[in-house]
Amino acid sequence: MTAPTVCVIKGDGIGIDVTDATLVVVNAACARVGCAKPTYIEIKAGAGYYAEHGIDIEPGGEERAGETDAIFLGAIGLPSIRHADGTEISPHLRLRDRYGLYAGIRPIKAYPNAPQRLADPRAAKIDMVVLRESTEGLFYSAAVHKRSRIKGDEEVCETLRITRSTSEKLHDFAFRLAKKRRDRGSSGRLTCVDKANVFTSMAFFRKIFDETAERYPEVERSYNYVDAMALDLVRRPWEFDVMVMENMFGDILSDLAGGLVGGMGMAACAEIGDTIGLFQPAHGSAPDIMGQDKANPLAAILSGALMLDYLADKTGQPAYAEAAAAIEAAVDRGLERNEIRPMEFGGDMGTVAVTKAVLETLAATA
């Protein structure tokens, strides 16, 4: 069995801690199901690297990242280290742009004993996905060329871009994801989230959604304006399954939704393109707790499971999907039995202890 190659960018702050934890768990899950553990190629990047070397990723790093089967990223950015225009160091945005990582998958799942912010008992069953387009939208201005128009100190104009080619791929991905989730027991309902009543760009986004829907008559679909979606994520999130949306909308709503199921310490993320995928916890670098064994590594570990599931399809080796399922089951079971108690949730376990608990649960279910 050929081992896939994974580019590892630990990045800044707690990104180093949670990446180390993830790779240990990924290797253990691979060993459990009998598949070859990935071959890791580490590349230095981030705000800390920028402060030391004047560039945000090591020479040739972007090119070498794209030569691997997948990219795993810990966290990028330190608030105290910024560009002259005030923005933070963000080489990962260029990776999204360079490799066309258009499909940003943000699973939102309520795990046992993780904090639940809604009193309604139905909140314990939340299991949905925010599908965020990750290369265009309003972030188009920020990714590579700083596509902003600045008029002295009086005005700044940013560009929001929606293209047919990317939107067609995104919506096709969304319908296939909804169908896959329906086949696994979810409702499979797909909601297009936009602001088509106001913006021409959003009406265009919805038009392409409707055109794509004609190829998937079996998938139930609905629509929601982004402001109404924010309201509905608070009052009735259990009614949604997959939501597809523009980049900035997805950036905001995925954090809101994550807050319903335990916070950013549970927020896994995958960004998928046509040739490669990037996987990372959706939280930041949290420099205030870096190196203190306080970070919750579960978002990173669950992102590692998403990576393994992706590698199963890319390599044609289904054992990696088994390894992914084993990690997800271990996290679920460990939280349910109160054997995983992150400090983030008021528990007594730091990064090392949470990782050890996941490994023990993983081994116990072998």
Q: Which band of pLDDT confidence, cut at 50, 70 and 90, is reported for residue 153?
A: confident
Q: 130 and 214: one domain?
A: yes
Of the residues 261, 285, 314, which one is the last residue of a structural domain? 261
For the stretch 37-70, pLDDT in tens is: 999 999 999 999 999 999 999 999 999 999 999 9
> In this structure, is residue 109 part of a structural domain?
no
> In this structure, is residue 106 part of a structural domain?
no
Q: 171 and 52: one domain?
A: no
> In this structure, is residue 350 part of a structural domain?
yes
Q: 74 and 96: one domain?
A: yes
Q: 238 and 294: one domain?
A: no
> In this structure, is residue 56 part of a structural domain?
yes
Q: 213 and 120: one domain?
A: yes
- What region does 351 belong to: left with phi over 0, alpha with psi -120 to 50, or beta? alpha
Paired strand residues for 193 = 224, 245
Query: How many structural domains comprise the chain?
Result: 2
Q: 246 and 309: one domain?
A: no
At residue 230, the pLDDT reads: 98
Q: 353 and 234: one domain?
A: no
Q: 286 and 317: one domain?
A: yes
For the stretch 268-298, pLDDT in tens is: 999 999 999 999 999 999 999 999 999 999 9
Residue type, 170: L
For the stretch 85-100, pLDDT in tens is: 788 898 998 899 999 9
For the stretch 65-88, pLDDT in tens is: 999 999 999 999 999 999 887 888
Classified as helix, coil or strand, 240 is coil
Q: 60 and 134: one domain?
A: no
Nearest to 14 by CA among 351, 354, 359, 328: 351
Please state the rounded mean pLDDT for residues 138-160.
75
Of the residues 226, 261, 296, which one is the last residue of a structural domain? 261
Please state the rounded mean pLDDT for residues 202-214.
98
Residue type, 200: T
Q: 250 and 279: one domain?
A: no
> In this structure, is residue 110 part of a structural domain?
no
Q: 244 and 278: one domain?
A: no
> In this structure, is residue 31 part of a structural domain?
yes
Distance between CA atoms of residues 112 and 197, nearest Å: 39
Checking DSSP bridges between strand 39-42 and strand 270-272, what pairing results, if any?
A: unpaired
Please state the rounded mean pLDDT for residues 11-17.
96
Which residues form the domain of 280?
Answer: 1-101+267-366
| 201 within 8 A of 160, measured Cβ to Cβ | yes
Which residue would you say has higher pLDDT here, 235 or 1? 235
Q: What are the Cα distances from residue 102, in Å, to 132, 211, 250, 264, 272? A: 8, 19, 12, 22, 6
Of the residues 261, 281, 296, which one is the last residue of a structural domain? 261
For residue 348, what is the DSSP state?
Answer: S
> In this structure, is residue 66 part of a structural domain?
yes
Please state the rounded mean pLDDT for residues 249-274.
94
Share of the chain above pLDDT 70, in %: 98
Q: What is the CATH number of the domain that holds 231?
A: 3.40.718.10
Q: Which of 135-144, 153-162, 193-202, 299-308 has the lowest mean pLDDT?
A: 135-144
> In this structure, is residue 111 part of a structural domain?
no
Q: 9 and 71: one domain?
A: yes
